[in-house]
Amino acid sequence: MSQLPSTPWTLASCAIHDQRDQLAAFWLAAPEDLLPSLWASPVGEVTKTLVKALRPETPFAPAQVALREAIGERLRAGFQTPLAIQLLLANFLYSPPGLLRIANPQTQLPVWLLSDYQALYEQPQQSTQAAAPQQPATALPQPDFGVFPATLQELVHNRIQLNRLLGLSNLYYIDPEDQEILHELRQVRLGLIEAIERCPEEQLQAIWATDLGDRYWALVRSGIQKEAMTPVEEHKKQAVTNKLNPSVGGGFGTPGALNAFLIAMVLFEPGSMRVNEAERQLPAWLLPNYQQIFAEPLVQQA
């Protein structure tokens, strides 16, 4: 008899709460014919985020070690056996980069997985080799994500940019010291702010009910609001502050107030800005996440 789950989980919270066990169980049960599309979806992006968070010294619970060893035993039969790729994807979640190697991956792995495996597990060795005097370094090509959508309506249908927003938010939460991640996340946040500014207020509820809503709250949770702001970001912050200030003609109930509030939550640190009588001021579709995610100060992982 299958064991019933005791608590729910969401994809957006996987990286934040280190829910790799739930994700491993998902991959072990994933249907064979959907593996390529699932790996290309947000499920694959979050899996890669969790793998990148691992270090050689990362501790694992005894049950996780036992699962990794059991998977290793099964994979000794080869990658052409039933469930081999599902087992490998689950194994990724307990295998720090640099500590898992597959012999002849070009012939062992499917095309849709090969490049990500190499990026996750072979890149550290390539970097070491590149440092040798006789082997000049070659810059890796940067992925071209295209121009960030100018409107929320475009963004909702752009899976690449939606996954980019989620991945960057989770990566920054895990390692806020990574300056490259910070710089890219700031650019994406600014693009999102400008798209929110352009959106008709009456369309916000429907848009926040899509996958964009989950990505937005991942950005709010990321903690990027604590970073010192650029002049452009300061200008945006002051503009939404005025839009929400009744003493200068703003406040909830005035045109564009909800747009301004959504922008404010990605610029003000959680817990630093409160809405008086939030139950009356905020719409029902926004209130629960505001109370759960933004109203209290963000608690970062140790």
Global pTM reads 0.55
* DSSP secondary structure code for residue 201 in this structure: G
| pLDDT value for 131 | 37
* Residues 16, 193: Cα–Cα separation, whole Å: 23
* Residue found by looking up tokens 């490049």 in the block: 115
pLDDT surpassing 70 at residue 26: yes
Q: Write out pLDDT tens, residues 117-175.
A: 988 888 643 333 333 343 333 333 445 577 899 999 999 999 889 988 988 898 888 88
| pLDDT value for 236 | 93
| pLDDT value for 129 | 37
The candidate with the shortest Cα–Cα distance to 91, out of 24, 45, 46, is: 24
CA separation (Å) from 73 to 95, 161, 247?
15, 38, 68
* Residues 236, 189: Cα–Cα separation, whole Å: 11
Domain ranges of the chain: 11-127, 152-294
Q: Write out pLDDT tens, residues 56-94.
A: 778 888 888 888 888 888 888 888 889 999 999 999 999
Q: Write out pLDDT tens, residues 29-55.
A: 999 889 998 898 888 888 998 898 888
